[in-house]
Structure formats: structure tokens, C-alpha cells
Structure 1
Amino acid sequence: MWQTIRALPRTVWLIGLISLINDSASELVYPLVPLYLTSVLMAGPRALGLIEGIAEATASLLKWVSGVVVDRTRRSKPWIVVGYGLAALGRPLIAWVTSWPALLAIRFADRVGKGLRTSPRDALLAASVGADRRGLAFGVHRAMDNAGAVIGPLLAAALLASGMPLREVFLWTWVPALVCVALALALREPATPAPAPNVAQIGLGSGGAALPPVFRRYLVIVALFALGNSSNMFLLLRASELGVPQAQIPLLWAAVSFIAMVLSVPLSGLSDRIGRRRLLLMGYGAYALFYLAMGLSNPTGVWLVGWFAFYGIFLAATEGVEKALVADLAPAQLRGTAFGWFNMTTGAMLLPASFVFGLLYEHAGAGPAFAFSAGCALAAGALLWRWLPRTGATAGASGR
């Protein structure tokens, strides 16, 4: 396993390092935005909801657009560089904003950058390795991304504890941002297949008709699962209701990210041997079990920590594997478009998923809300079993 990991191409490690550094800066800023909004800009939750809603919706749409454009231009690197460049420009500017509309503009630019770079980055990562190492490559990327999710909040806490003002914390984000841009400029694109005759005619309004039926069925499965995969903020709210002190909530989530970081490589790599479908089925089942436990029981103390650790295992077993399966099911000439549809679908479903979950939570209680999410996961697993046959694309590189 370790020899195989070390033998991964330079591009895989470079993309992973970029994600680690960028996510460290992003997760350093993200927890501080609500504090800055309320304590410095004197705005409230309504403004925060508007800012994040517009920002995330924009990112979801542009993930699709950038995926289609990559297939038409056969170039990923320019979009990756521009995407990280917008983040480099935007985050330090938060230190100088004096109103929430200005903060909205900066968050909008940051999410535009995310939307422009995500699908091209995934397509480049998939093109850099063969199918027999694809799960491992995406696992390495997710592990390094989760490492940033651990480093960022801890660094933010350390800087604030040292007495550094919020404005200075934002200003210092220009350092990792410029490093990310420099690393993105060092990326090399592998030789890509010539576009199929119909690729040049793919437009932004063409939909996913050019993609194979099995991939479109996979999108339905992903959308159904995503409908039950609401914002993780609800998990933290539930943990608070179950007795976790407010000061320990960030540490609990950092522990989840740490577990996902440690296990992403071995579990995603396992999908290269036992098959993507089998690992996703286990992952969807684990998600349903976790949500049923959180909603229908009242775990506390060590049991609660154990269940959150179990959730970290679910993340490690599914995040990289879902993307590896996208690359397995899509033709090489349409890989950018496929990742665009996948990323847009998962992003766009976050709003209705969170809305439905929140509505159930508020009016019916935690049990029905968490049971709804578990039901979506089980239904998605059933469709995965029925609609994606155990072929070479879903059963691992060996086709077993």
C-alpha cells in the first residue's frame, strides 16, 4: 500500500498539497466570519444566511459550467489557477470591509473561485492516474483536504488566543493564498484524448444527454442521498442538545475531520480492489445507522464521541470513492462535464436537504428529522444496488 501511495504521480500530490493549504486558510476564516459579522459589522443572522446562501448557490452552478468548459477547451490548469487566484484576492480584503454587502461581494468572489476550480481539478486528478489507482488518488486528495479542515480551526483558535485582532488574522491569509496560486501554476496537464465528435457541440444548455445512461442513473442516486445529507451544523446542534459543552463542539468536529483524514487513503484505496459500489453501499448503510442512532437514542459521553468517530469513518469511505466512480462511469472526453454535474448536484441539494431537515427538526423533533435522512440513505443504497450492476466500472479495476 505505501509503495503504491508513494508511486502516485506528482500531479496528485501537488493537487493534494494545494487543497491542504487552501483549506487551512479557508477553515481559518470560515468560523470567524459570523463573529466578524456580528461584532465588527453589527449585522445579524439574516445577513449571514443571505451571504452564505448566495455564495454556495453560485459555487454549485459554476461547478457545472466549469466542467462543461473544460471538456470544450481540453484545459484544466487555467481554471484551477484563476479559481485559487480569486480566493487569494478575496480573503485578505475581509479585513477592510465596513458593511455586510461588501462582505457578501468578497464571499461571492471566493465561491466563484471555488466553482471555477472544483470540477477542472477533479477532472485533472482523474486524468493523472489509471482506473486501478483512481480510488487511492482521490483518497489522498480527501485526506489532505481534511487535514486542512483540522489545521485551519486550530490555527484560528491559536491566533485569537495569542491576542491577534480579527482583522490581522484575515490579512495573514494572503500568505497561504499566494502559495496555492504558485503551486497551481506548477501543475502539468497530462495528454488528453482528442474530443469525441459531439463534444465540441456541447453547450451550457445541452444538459447531461451526452453522458451515458449509467452515469445519469448514478446522478439520481447521488441526488437522493444528498437530499438526506443536510448541513453538518445540525449534527453539532444535536451534539449540543445531548450535553456537549459549547466550547468543545469545535474540538468534536475537528476530531471527525482528523479521523476522515487518517482513513481516507486506506478506505478509498480499498475501493480499487473490492469495488466502488460495495464500499459505497457500506458507507450509505453506515450513514443511515449513525443518523438513526443520533435521532432515536440519546448517546452521551463516550458513546456520543464514538458515534461521531463512526461518522468520520463514513466520510473517509465515501467522499473520495464517489468521485472515483464519476471518473469510472464517464467517458474520458466528457469527464469535466461529468464532474460538473456531480458537483452541482451535490451542492444544489444542500439547500432543500437542510430546509426539509430543519423543518422536521423544528416541528416534529430530532427523531423524524434524523430518520428522514437515514431513509434517504437507505433508498439511495437500494437504487445503487439495483441500477449500478457489478461491472468493471463499479467492482474495482480488476472487474471482480
Structure 2
Amino acid sequence: MLKTIRQLPRTVWLIGLISLVNDSSSEMLYPLIPLYLSSVLMAGPRALGIIEGIAEATASLLKLFSGVVVDRTRHSKPWVVVGYGLAAFGRPLIAFVTSWPGLLLIRFADRIGKGLRSSPRDALLAGSVDAEQRGVAFGIHRAMDNAGAVVGPLVASALLAAGMALHDIFLWSVVPALLCVGLALSIHEPRDRQPVSTTPFQWNLRDMPDSFKRYLVVVAIFTLGNSSNMFLLLRAKELGVSEASIPLLWAAVSLVAMLFSTPLAGLSDKVGRIPLLLGGYVAYGLFYAGLGLMTHDGSVLFVLFGFYGLFMAATEGVEKALVADIAPVELRGTAFGWFNLTAGLFLLPASVVFGWLYQAFSPLVAFGFSTGCSLTAALLLWSWAFRMKLRDAYQTADGADH
């Protein structure tokens, strides 16, 4: 695997570095938003669910649009630069928000940027490597992305411990965000062998394999139980974790994901994508069940959050490598768009329903609902989504495109 990693092209490392810097800025603020929402804006779980659900659903619609456009134009870089630029100028504005609808508008703008850049970036990453390197390439990307998610919360925790106000931390996030835009401008796209399309835009799934369509159903069911991670931080605070320790807890999750993303995604190049995804879905269900059953802070809580990091490592890069495996090459951007659209659209009901169950009934009911969704998705992935022999059909070590 080390030889494969060393042979990865410059574009893969540059995209990973951009994600590292961007997430350093984003994740510096991410653990603070629930604190800001509850202590400054005086809003609860229901408002958090509405904000995150609408923001992520917006991003998902644009992920399909940008993916289809990339397939037509064969150019990813402009969308990547614009997408990161919107985030760079939007996040610091949180410092001036005085009500939760204002926070919703800022998160809305930030997610527009994510929607414009995600599918083009994924298509660019998939097109930069051979099929037998996809798992490792996406694993490296997720590892560097999670490295930024380690750095950001650590910086946030240090600034909070030093007495810096939340307002000032939001303002300082502009520095890494602008650096990220500069790096995006230096991307050189590989020459695409596919000709520029002259056919009309295609927004449907008509030309996609049946296995891809079934996979989207599994993703939808899983995502219905995959509410915003901010609820995890809110739950940790309720269980007794101090405000200064909340960013550290999230940094620990990202550290585990960073360490295991590349080896687990690389393993999928050898044994197939499905076993890794199955393990990740089950891990997610166990984590949510445990968090719902807990009644107080303790060492078990940190172990559980580490378990969540393993779920992220086993799924984030692997699921995108699987999309690249089964999608037609000429429709790869569209396939990533549909995948991102499905995952993101279901985040709206996921976060809204979770927030409602959390506030109207109990944390146990909300976390139990998510556990049920993840285990149902695992069962369908194993028994229905891919009807051929999983190991033979979806391992990509032979270099074949599916």
C-alpha cells in the first residue's frame, strides 16, 4: 500500500491539502455552533435540526447540478474554486448573527459553496487515478480532510481556554479559508480523454446501472438516520462534557478517522467495497445505541466517540470509490451528483425528525431511530443492493471499470 500511496499524482495530494486547510477553518467553528446557538442565540435542538437540515439539503441539490455540468464541460476547477471561495467569505459572518434565522442564512451560503465544489472535486479525484488506486486515493483525501478536523477543534479549544470570545474565533476563521482558495487556484486538471458533450443536459437516472439505483436507495435509508453531527456534540454537553472539552472530543473522532481512513479505504481495493461499508453501518448503529443509553459523562463516552471515528474511516472514502466503480465513465460527475444529492436531501428530514424526537420525547428515542435506520440499510446492502457476488464484482484490484 505504501508504494501505491507514493505513486499517487500531485492532484490527489493537492486536493487533500485543500480539504485539510478548509476543514481546519470549518471544524474550528463546527463544534462551537451548538454552543453559540444555545448560549448566545438561545435556541434549542429543534432550531438546530431546521438549520442543519435546510443547509445540507441545499448543498445536495447543487451537487447534482455541478456534477451534471462537469460531465458536459469536462472542467472541474472553476467549480472547486468558487465553492471554496463562498465558504471563505461566509463563515466569518457568523460573528455578526443575532438570531438563529440569521445563522441559517450563513450556513445556507456556506453549503451552497459545498454543493458547487463537492461533485466536481470527487470526479476530478476519481479521474486522476487508475481504478486500482481509487480506494487509496479517496482514503488519502478523507484522511487529510479529517486531519483538518483534528487541527480545527484543537485550535478552537485552545482559543476558548485562553479566554477568546466566540465572536472573535468566528472572525479569525477567514485566514485558513483564504489560504484554501489560493491552493484551489493552483490545481491543474488532468487532460480528460472524454470529448466535451454536445447532448442536452441529463438529470435522470435512465443511463445508470440498476445496481447504482439500488445503492442510492440504501444510501437514502441510512442517511434518514444520519442527522447532523452537531446533535452528538449537544448530547455530549448534556452528559456533562465541559464546553472547552467539546472541541477536543470532536478532534478525537477526527483523529481516529484520519488514522484509519487510508488503510481501510485501501483495504477495499483488495477485499471489495461492500464488506467495509457493512462494517461501517453496523458500527454507526452501535455507536448511536450506546450514546442514547448513556446517562452521564465518563471514559465510555470517549470510547464511543472513537468508535464513531472508525465508522467514518470505513465509509467516507469507500462509498465514493464504489460510486466511481459502478458509474459509466462519461457520467461519473452526474453519478457523484446523484449520490451527493441523495445523501444530502435526506439530511433535511433526518435532522428535523431527530431534533423533534430529541426534544418532544427523549434522546433515547432519537438515537434509537437512527440505530434502526443504519441496521436496515446494512441489511439491504448485504441482501438486495448488489445481487452478484460482492467480492468478485466490486473489488477493483484488476483495474476494471464497472
Bucket of the pairwise TM-score, normalised by the shorter protein: 0.7 to 0.9
How far apart are the structure 2 equivalents of 1:122 and 1:227? 23
TM-score by length of 1: 0.88
Corresponding residue of 2:266: 269
> Once the 2 structures are TM-superposed, how far is the Cα of residue 187 of structure 1 from its aligned partner?
1.1
CA deviation profile, 1:318-353 (whole Å, cap 9, x unmatched): 111011101111111111111111111111111212
The farther-off stretch of 124-133 and 296-305 is 296-305
Corresponding residue of 1:18: 18
> Once the 2 structures are TM-superposed, how far is the Cα of residue 61 of structure 1 from its aligned partner?
1.2
Corresponding residue of 2:174: 174
Trace 1:83-94 onto structure 2 (pairs within 5 A).
83-94=83-94
> Once the 2 structures are TM-superposed, how far is the Cα of residue 105 of structure 1 from its aligned partner?
4.5
Corresponding residue of 1:255: 252
How far apart are the structure 2 equivalents of 1:165 and 1:239? 21
1:230 pairs with one of 224, 227, 230: 227
CA deviation profile, 1:295-321 (whole Å, cap 9, x unmatched): 456686333322221221111111110
Corresponding residue of 1:313: 310
> Once the 2 structures are TM-superposed, how far is the Cα of residue 364 of structure 1 from its aligned partner?
5.0
Report the residue type matching 2:149 in the other structure: A
Report the residue type matching 2:341 in the other structure: M
How far apart are the structure 1 equivalents of 2:205 and 2:267? 30
Report the residue type matching 1:216 in the other structure: K
Corresponding residue of 1:332: 329
Identity of aligned residues (%): 66
Corresponding residue of 1:73: 73
Report the residue type matching 1:324 in the other structure: A
The farther-off stretch of 374-383 and 5-14 is 374-383
1:208 pairs with one of 201, 205, 221: 205
SS at 1:201 equivalent: coil
How far apart are the structure 2 equivalents of 1:236 and 1:361? 13
* 8 Å CA contact 1:393, 1:399 repeated in 2: no
Corresponding residue of 2:159: 159
The farther-off stretch of 28-37 and 382-391 is 28-37
The farther-off stretch of 82-91 and 317-326 is 82-91
Report the residue type matching 1:174 in the other structure: V
The 1:236–1:167 alpha-carbon spacing in structure 2 relative to 1, beyond 3 Å, is closer
How far apart are the structure 1 equivalents of 2:299 and 2:350? 29
RMSD, matched Cα: 3.0
* 8 Å CA contact 1:71, 1:195 repeated in 2: no
Gaps of 5+ in 1: none
The 1:303–1:278 alpha-carbon spacing in structure 2 relative to 1, beyond 3 Å, is same
Q: Does 1:341 align with 2:338?
A: yes
Gaps of 5+ in 2: none
CA deviation profile, 1:223-254 (whole Å, cap 9, x unmatched): 11111222223333444455544543332222
* 8 Å CA contact 2:51, 2:107 repeated in 1: yes
Question: Bigger relative contact order, structure 1 or 2, given CA contacts below 8 A and separation 6+?
Answer: 2
CA deviation profile, 1:126-154 (whole Å, cap 9, x unmatched): 11111111111111111111111121122
How far apart are the structure 1 equivalents of 2:207 and 2:327? 10
SS at 1:194 equivalent: coil
The farther-off stretch of 24-33 and 333-342 is 24-33
Report the residue type matching 2:222 in the other structure: F
Trace 1:1-400 onto structure 2 (pairs within 5 A).
1-33=1-33, 44=43, 51-95=51-95, 104-194=104-194, 200-203=199-202, 206-240=203-237, 242-296=239-293, 301-362=298-359, 365-386=362-383, 387-388=385-386, 389=388, 390=390, 392-398=392-398
The 1:145–1:168 alpha-carbon spacing in structure 2 relative to 1, beyond 3 Å, is same
> Once the 2 structures are TM-superposed, how far is the Cα of residue 26 of structure 1 from its aligned partner?
1.3
The 1:384–1:14 alpha-carbon spacing in structure 2 relative to 1, beyond 3 Å, is same
Count of aligned residue pairs for this structure pair: 396
The 1:290–1:89 alpha-carbon spacing in structure 2 relative to 1, beyond 3 Å, is closer
* 8 Å CA contact 2:31, 2:246 repeated in 1: no
> Once the 2 structures are TM-superposed, how far is the Cα of residue 273 of structure 1 from its aligned partner?
0.6
How far apart are the structure 2 equivalents of 1:114 and 1:18? 13
CA deviation profile, 1:261-288 (whole Å, cap 9, x unmatched): 1111111111011110111112222222
The 1:392–1:67 alpha-carbon spacing in structure 2 relative to 1, beyond 3 Å, is farther
The farther-off stretch of 221-230 and 105-114 is 105-114
How far apart are the structure 2 equivalents of 1:123 and 1:47? 34
The 1:368–1:157 alpha-carbon spacing in structure 2 relative to 1, beyond 3 Å, is closer
How far apart are the structure 2 equivalents of 1:51 and 1:356? 12
> Once the 2 structures are TM-superposed, how far is the Cα of residue 359 of structure 1 from its aligned partner?
3.9
* 8 Å CA contact 2:261, 2:314 repeated in 1: yes
How far apart are the structure 2 equivalents of 1:237 and 1:38? 9
How far apart are the structure 2 equivalents of 1:318 and 1:102? 33
The 1:36–1:236 alpha-carbon spacing in structure 2 relative to 1, beyond 3 Å, is closer
* 8 Å CA contact 2:149, 2:251 repeated in 1: yes
* 8 Å CA contact 2:325, 2:396 repeated in 1: no
